[in-house]
Amino acid sequence: MRTYEASAVSTGTFGRVLASSRGNDVLVDGPPWNGCLGEKINPGELFLAAVASCGVELVEVIARDRGLALRGARVEARGELDPENRVRDDLALFNRVSFHFTLEGVSDGDGMRLVESFKGR
């Protein structure tokens, strides 16, 4: 069993939140279309960044475990949410999400296998 814990608290500035986990803090702003400042990373971006971070970290771990000479990894994430065309009425979900992996130091075939292994985790 792996347990993850995080919290979020108001900061006193409308729409700005302090997100924390294990003593690490991130300021998060609601987006401008909600009437918030929109200066800091917003919750949707933070979600995509978390999945992209997971992609980089796991690809590095899998490459290490397979003895592959991965020199670097980058994951770019993009999500689209159309409030007028909701995926579900009861949840706010992205209509479309895509991830682009750039891997250095491995062949195209090894890179594709690393990404497929990540997706299977």
Per-residue pLDDT tens over the stretch 107-121: 999 999 999 999 988
Interatomic CA distance for residues 118 and 53, integer angstroms: 12
Residue type present at position 100: H
Annotate 17-80 with three-state secondary structure: EEEEECCEEEEEECCHHHCCCCCCCCHHHHHHHHHHHHHHHHHHHHHHHCCCCCCEEEEEEEEE
- Predicted local distance difference test score (pLDDT) of residue 89: 87
* 3 state DSSP class of 103: strand
Average pLDDT over residues 30-42: 96
Do 107 and 117 meet the contact criterion of CB atoms below 8 Å apart? no
Quick check: 38 pLDDT over 90? Answer: yes
Quick check: 6 pLDDT over 90? Answer: yes
Phi, psi (5° rounding) for residue 86? -70, 140
Give residue 91's pLDDT band: very low, low, confident or very high (50, 70, 90): confident
Provide the token pair at 69: 């000479």
**pTM score:** 0.89
- Predicted local distance difference test score (pLDDT) of residue 24: 97
- Predicted local distance difference test score (pLDDT) of residue 16: 98
